[in-house]
Structure 1
Amino acid sequence: ERTAEAFFPESNALGRVLSVDFFGTPFDAEVIGVVADARLEVLELGDDLAVYFSYAQRTYPRLRLAVRAAVDPVSIAPAVREAVTEMDPNLPVSGIGSMEELVAGSISSRRALAAAMSLFGVLPIIMAAVGLYSLLSYHVRERFREIGIRRSLGARPVRLAGQVVLRGLLLAGTGVLVGVIATRWLTGSISALLYDIEATDLSTFVGVVGFVLATSVAACLIPVISAVRVDPLASLRAE
Protein backbone atom coordinates (compact mmCIF):
# COMPACT_ATOMS: atom_id res chain seq x y z
CA GLU A 1 0.00 0.00 0.00
CA ARG A 2 2.77 2.46 0.85
CA THR A 3 4.56 1.67 -2.42
CA ALA A 4 1.37 2.36 -4.39
CA GLU A 5 0.83 5.62 -2.51
CA ALA A 6 4.44 6.67 -3.08
CA PHE A 7 4.48 6.07 -6.85
CA PHE A 8 0.83 6.67 -7.72
CA PRO A 9 -0.52 9.05 -5.07
CA GLU A 10 -3.33 10.47 -7.18
CA SER A 11 -4.49 7.44 -9.17
CA ASN A 12 -5.22 3.73 -8.96
CA ALA A 13 -2.03 1.67 -9.09
CA LEU A 14 -3.67 -1.32 -10.80
CA GLY A 15 -2.56 -1.65 -14.40
CA ARG A 16 0.26 0.84 -14.04
CA VAL A 17 3.83 -0.10 -14.92
CA LEU A 18 6.88 0.04 -12.65
CA SER A 19 10.44 0.08 -13.98
CA VAL A 20 12.37 -2.25 -11.70
CA ASP A 21 16.05 -3.14 -11.43
CA PHE A 22 16.02 -6.78 -10.33
CA PHE A 23 19.57 -7.77 -9.32
CA GLY A 24 21.07 -5.73 -12.15
CA THR A 25 18.44 -6.71 -14.71
CA PRO A 26 16.05 -3.84 -15.48
CA PHE A 27 12.52 -4.68 -16.64
CA ASP A 28 9.01 -3.26 -16.63
CA ALA A 29 6.44 -4.82 -14.30
CA GLU A 30 2.69 -4.27 -14.44
CA VAL A 31 0.89 -3.83 -11.13
CA ILE A 32 -1.75 -6.55 -10.85
CA GLY A 33 -2.69 -6.06 -7.20
CA VAL A 34 -2.16 -4.02 -4.04
CA VAL A 35 -1.83 -5.74 -0.66
CA ALA A 36 -1.56 -4.44 2.87
CA ASP A 37 1.82 -3.46 4.29
CA ALA A 38 3.60 -6.33 6.02
CA ARG A 39 6.24 -6.49 8.73
CA LEU A 40 9.22 -8.38 7.35
CA GLU A 41 11.85 -9.70 9.79
CA VAL A 42 11.11 -6.92 12.32
CA LEU A 43 7.92 -5.85 14.05
CA GLU A 44 7.92 -2.21 13.05
CA LEU A 45 7.23 -0.96 9.55
CA GLY A 46 10.49 0.35 8.12
CA ASP A 47 11.04 3.13 5.61
CA ASP A 48 11.78 0.74 2.72
CA LEU A 49 9.10 0.20 0.08
CA ALA A 50 8.24 -3.39 -0.88
CA VAL A 51 7.12 -5.00 -4.13
CA TYR A 52 6.08 -8.63 -4.53
CA PHE A 53 6.94 -10.59 -7.68
CA SER A 54 5.63 -13.92 -8.89
CA TYR A 55 8.24 -16.69 -8.67
CA ALA A 56 6.89 -17.95 -11.99
CA GLN A 57 8.17 -14.76 -13.62
CA ARG A 58 11.19 -13.73 -11.56
CA THR A 59 13.25 -16.13 -9.50
CA TYR A 60 14.98 -15.20 -6.28
CA PRO A 61 17.85 -17.14 -4.69
CA ARG A 62 16.00 -17.43 -1.38
CA LEU A 63 12.47 -18.48 -0.53
CA ARG A 64 10.63 -18.28 2.75
CA LEU A 65 7.92 -20.79 3.48
CA ALA A 66 5.36 -20.16 6.24
CA VAL A 67 3.60 -23.19 7.70
CA ARG A 68 0.64 -22.97 10.07
CA ALA A 69 0.58 -25.79 12.61
CA ALA A 70 -1.89 -26.87 15.27
CA VAL A 71 0.97 -28.33 17.34
CA ASP A 72 4.36 -27.08 18.44
CA PRO A 73 5.87 -25.72 15.19
CA VAL A 74 9.35 -26.88 16.15
CA SER A 75 8.11 -30.48 16.31
CA ILE A 76 7.12 -30.47 12.62
CA ALA A 77 10.46 -29.07 11.40
CA PRO A 78 11.76 -32.51 10.28
CA ALA A 79 8.54 -33.12 8.32
CA VAL A 80 8.84 -29.74 6.59
CA ARG A 81 12.46 -30.41 5.69
CA GLU A 82 11.55 -33.84 4.34
CA ALA A 83 8.70 -32.41 2.23
CA VAL A 84 11.00 -29.83 0.63
CA THR A 85 13.64 -32.48 -0.06
CA GLU A 86 11.05 -34.67 -1.79
CA MET A 87 10.19 -31.75 -4.09
CA ASP A 88 13.83 -31.10 -5.01
CA PRO A 89 16.77 -32.82 -3.28
CA ASN A 90 19.04 -29.97 -4.40
CA LEU A 91 17.13 -27.35 -2.40
CA PRO A 92 18.98 -26.59 0.86
CA VAL A 93 16.73 -25.96 3.87
CA SER A 94 18.05 -23.73 6.63
CA GLY A 95 16.87 -21.31 9.25
CA ILE A 96 13.87 -23.32 10.43
CA GLY A 97 12.24 -21.75 13.46
CA SER A 98 8.95 -20.71 14.97
CA MET A 99 7.36 -17.30 14.52
CA GLU A 100 7.86 -16.79 18.24
CA GLU A 101 11.62 -17.21 17.83
CA LEU A 102 11.65 -14.89 14.82
CA VAL A 103 9.80 -12.15 16.71
CA ALA A 104 11.97 -12.61 19.80
CA GLY A 105 15.13 -12.26 17.73
CA SER A 106 13.88 -9.12 16.00
CA ILE A 107 13.20 -7.34 19.29
CA SER A 108 16.11 -8.67 21.36
CA SER A 109 17.97 -5.37 21.23
CA ARG A 110 14.81 -3.47 22.15
CA ARG A 111 14.22 -5.83 25.06
CA ALA A 112 17.74 -5.21 26.36
CA LEU A 113 17.21 -1.46 26.02
CA ALA A 114 13.81 -1.72 27.72
CA ALA A 115 15.31 -3.72 30.59
CA ALA A 116 18.03 -1.11 31.09
CA MET A 117 15.52 1.73 30.93
CA SER A 118 13.25 -0.10 33.39
CA LEU A 119 16.13 -0.48 35.82
CA PHE A 120 17.08 3.17 35.55
CA GLY A 121 13.39 4.03 35.83
CA VAL A 122 12.80 2.00 38.99
CA LEU A 123 15.84 3.35 40.85
CA PRO A 124 14.68 7.01 40.71
CA ILE A 125 11.21 5.93 41.86
CA ILE A 126 12.70 4.11 44.85
CA MET A 127 14.94 7.07 45.67
CA ALA A 128 12.00 9.44 45.34
CA ALA A 129 9.90 7.21 47.61
CA VAL A 130 12.65 7.11 50.26
CA GLY A 131 13.06 10.88 50.07
CA LEU A 132 9.31 11.46 50.23
CA TYR A 133 8.98 9.10 53.18
CA SER A 134 11.81 10.80 55.07
CA LEU A 135 10.47 14.29 54.38
CA LEU A 136 6.90 13.57 55.42
CA SER A 137 8.01 11.57 58.47
CA TYR A 138 10.16 14.51 59.59
CA HIS A 139 7.23 16.86 58.99
CA VAL A 140 5.01 14.72 61.24
CA ARG A 141 7.63 14.35 63.97
CA GLU A 142 8.02 18.12 64.07
CA ARG A 143 4.37 18.25 65.11
CA PHE A 144 4.71 15.84 68.04
CA ARG A 145 4.29 18.70 70.57
CA GLU A 146 1.21 19.98 68.76
CA ILE A 147 -0.24 16.48 68.70
CA GLY A 148 0.47 16.09 72.42
CA ILE A 149 -1.27 19.38 73.24
CA ARG A 150 -4.31 18.47 71.15
CA ARG A 151 -4.43 15.03 72.77
CA SER A 152 -4.38 16.62 76.23
CA LEU A 153 -7.26 18.88 75.18
CA GLY A 154 -9.35 15.84 74.25
CA ALA A 155 -8.76 15.42 70.53
CA ARG A 156 -9.49 11.89 69.32
CA PRO A 157 -6.42 9.97 68.03
CA VAL A 158 -8.26 8.84 64.89
CA ARG A 159 -9.17 12.43 64.03
CA LEU A 160 -5.59 13.59 64.62
CA ALA A 161 -4.17 10.82 62.45
CA GLY A 162 -6.66 11.58 59.68
CA GLN A 163 -5.79 15.28 59.64
CA VAL A 164 -2.06 14.60 59.51
CA VAL A 165 -2.41 12.03 56.72
CA LEU A 166 -4.70 14.36 54.75
CA ARG A 167 -2.16 17.17 54.95
CA GLY A 168 0.58 14.82 53.77
CA LEU A 169 -1.57 13.65 50.87
CA LEU A 170 -2.22 17.25 49.84
CA LEU A 171 1.53 17.87 49.68
CA ALA A 172 2.14 14.64 47.77
CA GLY A 173 -0.84 15.26 45.49
CA THR A 174 0.56 18.64 44.47
CA GLY A 175 3.83 16.98 43.51
CA VAL A 176 1.99 14.22 41.61
CA LEU A 177 -0.02 16.79 39.65
CA VAL A 178 3.12 18.65 38.63
CA GLY A 179 4.80 15.36 37.70
CA VAL A 180 1.88 14.17 35.56
CA ILE A 181 1.79 17.46 33.65
CA ALA A 182 5.56 17.34 33.07
CA THR A 183 5.39 13.69 32.00
CA ARG A 184 2.64 14.35 29.46
CA TRP A 185 4.81 17.10 28.01
CA LEU A 186 7.90 14.85 27.77
CA THR A 187 6.26 11.67 26.43
CA GLY A 188 6.97 12.57 22.81
CA SER A 189 10.68 11.96 23.29
CA ILE A 190 10.19 8.29 24.30
CA SER A 191 7.33 7.32 21.98
CA ALA A 192 9.75 6.01 19.32
CA LEU A 193 11.25 3.54 21.83
CA LEU A 194 7.93 1.89 22.67
CA TYR A 195 6.12 -0.91 20.86
CA ASP A 196 2.49 -1.87 21.28
CA ILE A 197 2.06 0.54 24.20
CA GLU A 198 1.36 4.22 24.36
CA ALA A 199 3.74 6.61 26.08
CA THR A 200 0.67 7.88 27.96
CA ASP A 201 -0.39 4.38 29.06
CA LEU A 202 -3.08 4.85 31.71
CA SER A 203 -2.17 1.78 33.77
CA THR A 204 1.43 3.00 34.14
CA PHE A 205 0.31 6.43 35.29
CA VAL A 206 -2.19 4.94 37.75
CA GLY A 207 0.42 2.53 39.13
CA VAL A 208 3.05 5.22 39.73
CA VAL A 209 0.56 7.66 41.23
CA GLY A 210 -0.83 4.93 43.48
CA PHE A 211 2.68 4.00 44.62
CA VAL A 212 3.51 7.62 45.48
CA LEU A 213 0.26 8.14 47.38
CA ALA A 214 0.66 4.84 49.27
CA THR A 215 4.19 5.88 50.26
CA SER A 216 2.83 9.23 51.45
CA VAL A 217 0.16 7.57 53.59
CA ALA A 218 2.73 5.25 55.17
CA ALA A 219 5.15 8.13 55.76
CA CYS A 220 2.50 10.09 57.64
CA LEU A 221 0.62 7.26 59.32
CA ILE A 222 3.51 5.36 60.90
CA PRO A 223 4.97 8.28 62.90
CA VAL A 224 1.57 9.75 63.78
CA ILE A 225 0.45 6.41 65.23
CA SER A 226 3.54 6.48 67.44
CA ALA A 227 2.73 10.06 68.42
CA VAL A 228 -0.89 9.42 69.45
CA ARG A 229 0.14 6.39 71.51
CA VAL A 230 2.51 8.43 73.66
CA ASP A 231 1.11 9.87 76.88
CA PRO A 232 0.38 13.54 76.04
CA LEU A 233 1.57 14.75 79.47
CA ALA A 234 4.88 12.91 79.06
CA SER A 235 5.27 14.45 75.61
CA LEU A 236 4.67 17.95 77.00
CA ARG A 237 7.14 17.44 79.88
CA ALA A 238 9.77 16.33 77.37
CA GLU A 239 9.27 19.59 75.49
Structure 2
Amino acid sequence: VRGRALDSPAEPELYAPLGQTPWPGTTLMVRSRLPMESVAAAVKAEMAQLDSQLSMRKPTTLEANLERSVADRNFQRVLLLAFAVSAVALASLGIYGLMAYSVAQRRRELGIRLALGAMPADVVRLVMKQALRMCAVGLGVGLLLALAMSQVLEGMLYDVSATDPLTFLAVPVLLLTVVALASWLPARRASKVSPGVAMSAD
Protein backbone atom coordinates (compact mmCIF):
# COMPACT_ATOMS: atom_id res chain seq x y z
CA VAL A 1 0.00 0.00 0.00
CA ARG A 2 0.98 3.65 -0.31
CA GLY A 3 1.04 4.35 3.40
CA ARG A 4 3.01 7.60 3.34
CA ALA A 5 1.99 9.45 0.19
CA LEU A 6 0.34 8.76 -3.15
CA ASP A 7 3.52 9.56 -5.02
CA SER A 8 5.62 7.15 -2.96
CA PRO A 9 6.12 3.57 -4.15
CA ALA A 10 3.72 0.96 -2.83
CA GLU A 11 5.27 -1.12 -0.06
CA PRO A 12 4.24 -4.31 1.75
CA GLU A 13 2.10 -3.69 4.83
CA LEU A 14 1.96 -5.98 7.86
CA TYR A 15 -0.90 -5.85 10.34
CA ALA A 16 0.01 -6.97 13.85
CA PRO A 17 -1.92 -7.05 17.16
CA LEU A 18 -1.53 -3.85 19.19
CA GLY A 19 -0.46 -5.94 22.17
CA GLN A 20 2.59 -7.18 20.28
CA THR A 21 3.53 -3.81 18.82
CA PRO A 22 2.61 -1.09 21.35
CA TRP A 23 2.04 2.36 19.89
CA PRO A 24 1.44 5.63 21.74
CA GLY A 25 -1.69 6.36 19.75
CA THR A 26 -4.05 4.59 17.43
CA THR A 27 -6.59 5.44 14.78
CA LEU A 28 -10.11 4.09 14.91
CA MET A 29 -11.94 3.93 11.59
CA VAL A 30 -15.72 3.63 11.57
CA ARG A 31 -17.82 3.03 8.48
CA SER A 32 -21.29 4.53 8.73
CA ARG A 33 -23.98 6.22 6.67
CA LEU A 34 -24.67 8.67 9.52
CA PRO A 35 -23.21 12.19 9.68
CA MET A 36 -19.70 12.38 11.13
CA GLU A 37 -20.87 14.32 14.22
CA SER A 38 -23.35 11.60 15.17
CA VAL A 39 -20.79 8.83 14.72
CA ALA A 40 -18.17 10.75 16.71
CA ALA A 41 -20.57 11.28 19.61
CA ALA A 42 -21.50 7.59 19.67
CA VAL A 43 -17.84 6.50 19.55
CA LYS A 44 -16.89 8.97 22.29
CA ALA A 45 -19.69 7.66 24.54
CA GLU A 46 -18.61 4.08 23.93
CA MET A 47 -14.97 4.94 24.72
CA ALA A 48 -16.02 6.61 27.99
CA GLN A 49 -17.81 3.44 29.02
CA LEU A 50 -14.74 1.33 28.24
CA ASP A 51 -12.18 3.61 29.88
CA SER A 52 -12.79 7.10 31.22
CA GLN A 53 -9.09 7.94 30.74
CA LEU A 54 -9.29 7.56 26.97
CA SER A 55 -9.35 10.74 24.97
CA MET A 56 -10.29 11.31 21.36
CA ARG A 57 -8.70 13.79 19.02
CA LYS A 58 -10.77 15.84 16.62
CA PRO A 59 -12.61 13.36 14.37
CA THR A 60 -12.35 13.66 10.63
CA THR A 61 -13.51 11.84 7.53
CA LEU A 62 -11.43 9.61 5.30
CA GLU A 63 -12.09 11.98 2.39
CA ALA A 64 -10.74 14.95 4.38
CA ASN A 65 -7.60 12.99 5.27
CA LEU A 66 -7.08 12.06 1.65
CA GLU A 67 -7.55 15.65 0.48
CA ARG A 68 -5.10 16.89 3.10
CA SER A 69 -2.50 14.33 2.03
CA VAL A 70 -2.60 15.53 -1.59
CA ALA A 71 -3.18 19.24 -0.89
CA ASP A 72 0.37 20.24 -1.88
CA ARG A 73 0.20 18.22 -5.09
CA ASN A 74 -3.20 19.68 -5.95
CA PHE A 75 -1.87 23.19 -5.42
CA GLN A 76 1.11 22.48 -7.68
CA ARG A 77 -1.22 20.96 -10.27
CA VAL A 78 -3.54 24.00 -10.24
CA LEU A 79 -0.54 26.33 -10.45
CA LEU A 80 0.94 24.43 -13.38
CA LEU A 81 -2.46 24.36 -15.08
CA ALA A 82 -2.80 28.13 -14.66
CA PHE A 83 0.67 28.65 -16.14
CA ALA A 84 -0.14 26.27 -19.01
CA VAL A 85 -3.41 28.06 -19.83
CA SER A 86 -1.65 31.42 -19.67
CA ALA A 87 1.13 30.12 -21.92
CA VAL A 88 -1.38 28.83 -24.49
CA ALA A 89 -3.29 32.13 -24.40
CA LEU A 90 -0.10 34.18 -24.84
CA ALA A 91 1.14 31.83 -27.57
CA SER A 92 -2.20 32.13 -29.37
CA LEU A 93 -2.09 35.93 -29.24
CA GLY A 94 1.54 35.95 -30.32
CA ILE A 95 0.92 33.57 -33.21
CA TYR A 96 -2.09 35.57 -34.37
CA GLY A 97 -0.13 38.83 -34.19
CA LEU A 98 2.80 37.31 -36.06
CA MET A 99 0.59 35.86 -38.78
CA ALA A 100 -1.39 39.09 -39.15
CA TYR A 101 1.87 41.03 -39.53
CA SER A 102 3.28 38.46 -41.95
CA VAL A 103 0.15 38.58 -44.13
CA ALA A 104 0.17 42.39 -44.04
CA GLN A 105 3.79 42.39 -45.22
CA ARG A 106 2.85 40.04 -48.08
CA ARG A 107 -0.24 41.96 -49.08
CA ARG A 108 1.27 43.15 -52.35
CA GLU A 109 2.46 39.63 -53.22
CA LEU A 110 -0.98 38.18 -52.47
CA GLY A 111 -2.60 40.92 -54.54
CA ILE A 112 -0.38 40.02 -57.49
CA ARG A 113 -1.30 36.36 -57.11
CA LEU A 114 -4.99 37.29 -57.14
CA ALA A 115 -4.49 39.56 -60.16
CA LEU A 116 -2.79 36.70 -62.03
CA GLY A 117 -5.77 34.46 -61.49
CA ALA A 118 -5.29 32.82 -58.11
CA MET A 119 -8.52 32.11 -56.32
CA PRO A 120 -9.03 33.53 -52.80
CA ALA A 121 -9.12 29.97 -51.46
CA ASP A 122 -5.69 29.35 -53.03
CA VAL A 123 -4.26 32.37 -51.22
CA VAL A 124 -5.72 31.23 -47.90
CA ARG A 125 -4.41 27.72 -48.46
CA LEU A 126 -0.92 29.03 -49.30
CA VAL A 127 -0.69 31.14 -46.14
CA MET A 128 -2.05 28.36 -43.92
CA LYS A 129 0.29 25.75 -45.43
CA GLN A 130 3.35 27.91 -44.76
CA ALA A 131 2.17 28.68 -41.21
CA LEU A 132 1.49 25.02 -40.44
CA ARG A 133 4.88 24.05 -41.83
CA MET A 134 6.61 26.48 -39.46
CA CYS A 135 4.42 25.23 -36.62
CA ALA A 136 5.36 21.62 -37.35
CA VAL A 137 9.06 22.50 -37.04
CA GLY A 138 8.40 24.30 -33.75
CA LEU A 139 6.33 21.41 -32.44
CA GLY A 140 9.08 18.95 -33.31
CA VAL A 141 11.62 20.95 -31.30
CA GLY A 142 9.11 21.47 -28.48
CA LEU A 143 8.27 17.78 -28.21
CA LEU A 144 11.96 16.87 -28.03
CA LEU A 145 12.47 19.41 -25.24
CA ALA A 146 9.33 18.16 -23.45
CA LEU A 147 10.62 14.60 -23.56
CA ALA A 148 13.94 15.77 -22.17
CA MET A 149 12.25 17.69 -19.34
CA SER A 150 9.75 14.92 -18.52
CA GLN A 151 12.09 13.51 -15.85
CA VAL A 152 11.71 16.74 -13.87
CA LEU A 153 7.93 16.28 -13.70
CA GLU A 154 8.12 12.58 -12.89
CA GLY A 155 8.39 13.25 -9.15
CA MET A 156 5.24 15.40 -9.13
CA LEU A 157 2.98 12.78 -10.70
CA TYR A 158 1.40 9.58 -9.47
CA ASP A 159 -0.35 6.93 -11.54
CA VAL A 160 0.36 9.07 -14.64
CA SER A 161 3.41 8.83 -16.82
CA ALA A 162 5.38 12.02 -17.51
CA THR A 163 5.39 10.90 -21.16
CA ASP A 164 1.63 10.30 -21.26
CA PRO A 165 0.76 9.61 -24.94
CA LEU A 166 -2.61 11.39 -24.67
CA THR A 167 -0.94 14.60 -23.49
CA PHE A 168 1.75 14.40 -26.14
CA LEU A 169 -1.00 14.00 -28.74
CA ALA A 170 -3.49 16.57 -27.41
CA VAL A 171 -1.04 19.47 -27.06
CA PRO A 172 0.24 19.37 -30.68
CA VAL A 173 -3.34 19.07 -31.95
CA LEU A 174 -4.32 22.10 -29.85
CA LEU A 175 -1.39 24.17 -31.07
CA LEU A 176 -1.96 23.16 -34.70
CA THR A 177 -5.60 24.24 -34.33
CA VAL A 178 -4.52 27.58 -32.86
CA VAL A 179 -2.02 28.14 -35.69
CA ALA A 180 -4.59 27.16 -38.31
CA LEU A 181 -7.11 29.67 -36.95
CA ALA A 182 -4.46 32.36 -36.41
CA SER A 183 -3.31 32.06 -40.03
CA TRP A 184 -6.76 31.55 -41.55
CA LEU A 185 -8.27 34.78 -40.20
CA PRO A 186 -5.69 37.25 -41.61
CA ALA A 187 -5.30 35.23 -44.84
CA ARG A 188 -9.06 35.23 -45.39
CA ARG A 189 -9.18 38.98 -44.78
CA ALA A 190 -6.32 39.56 -47.23
CA SER A 191 -7.93 37.35 -49.88
CA LYS A 192 -11.01 39.59 -49.92
CA VAL A 193 -9.03 42.73 -50.70
CA SER A 194 -9.19 43.94 -54.28
CA PRO A 195 -5.92 43.10 -56.15
CA GLY A 196 -5.66 46.69 -57.34
CA VAL A 197 -5.94 48.07 -53.81
CA ALA A 198 -3.43 45.54 -52.52
CA MET A 199 -0.85 46.33 -55.19
CA SER A 200 -1.21 50.11 -54.75
CA ALA A 201 -0.93 49.92 -50.97
CA ASP A 202 2.81 50.62 -51.06
Shorter-chain TM-score category?
0.7 to 0.9
Structure with the higher helix share, 1 or 2:
2
Q: Kindly tell me: are residues 102 and 232 of structure 1, through their superposed partners in 2, closer, same or farther at Cα, counting changes over 3 Å?
A: same
Instruction: Trace 1:188-207 onto structure 2 (pairs within 5 A).
Output: 188-207=151-170
Instruction: Trace 1:121-136 onto structure 2 (pairs within 5 A).
Output: 121-136=84-99
Q: TM-score, normalised by structure 2?
A: 0.84
2:195 to 232, 235, 238: 232
How many residues in Structure 1 have an aligned counterpart in Structure 2? 202
- Provide the C-alpha distance between the structure 2 equivalents of 1:63 and 1:194, rounded to a whole number of angstroms: 30
CA offset digits 1:96-130 (Å, max 9, x no partner): 11111101111222223333333334433333333
Range that drifts further, 179-188 or 129-138: 129-138
Match of 2:184 in 1: 221
Range that drifts further, 160-169 or 107-116: 107-116
- Provide the C-alpha distance between the structure 1 equivalents of 2:10 and 2:115, rounded to a whole number of angstroms: 74
Which one has a bigger Cα radius of gyration? 1
- Provide the C-alpha distance between the structure 2 equivalents of 1:155 and 1:83, rounded to a whole number of angstroms: 88
SS of aligned partner of 2:18 = coil
- Provide the C-alpha distance between the structure 2 equivalents of 1:210 and 1:47, rounded to a whole number of angstroms: 35
1:163 to 126, 130, 134: 126
Query: C-alpha root-mean-square deviation of aligned residues, in Å?
Result: 2.7
1:81 to 44, 53, 58: 44
Work out the percentage of aligned pairs sharing the same amino acid.
Answer: 28
Q: What is the Cα deviation at residue 171 of structure 1? A: 0.8
Q: What is the Cα deviation at residue 78 of structure 1? A: 2.5
- Provide the C-alpha distance between the structure 2 equivalents of 1:72 and 1:195, rounded to a whole number of angstroms: 31
Q: Kindly tell me: are residues 125 and 63 of structure 1, through their superposed partners in 2, closer, same or farther at Cα, counting changes over 3 Å?
A: same
Q: Which segments of 5 or more consecutive residues in structure 1 lack a partner in the other structure?
A: 1-37
SS of aligned partner of 2:200 = helix
Instruction: Trace 1:1-239 onto structure 2 (pairs within 5 A).
Output: 38-40=1-3, 42-45=5-8, 52-70=15-33, 73=36, 76-239=39-202
Q: What is the Cα deviation at residue 72 of structure 1? A: 5.2
Structure with the higher strand share, 1 or 2:
1
CA offset digits 1:189-239 (Å, max 9, x no partner): 110012232212233333322332122112211111111111112222323
Q: TM-score, normalised by structure 1?
A: 0.72
Runs (4+) off by over 6 Å:
46-50
* C-alpha contact 2:44 2:56 (8 A) present in aligned 1: yes
Equivalent position amino acid for 2:130 in 1? R
- Provide the C-alpha distance between the structure 2 equivalents of 1:72 and 1:210, rounded to a whole number of angstroms: 47
* C-alpha contact 2:154 2:162 (8 A) present in aligned 1: yes
Equivalent position amino acid for 1:213 in 2? L
Q: Which has the higher contact order (CA 8 A, sep 6+)?
A: 2
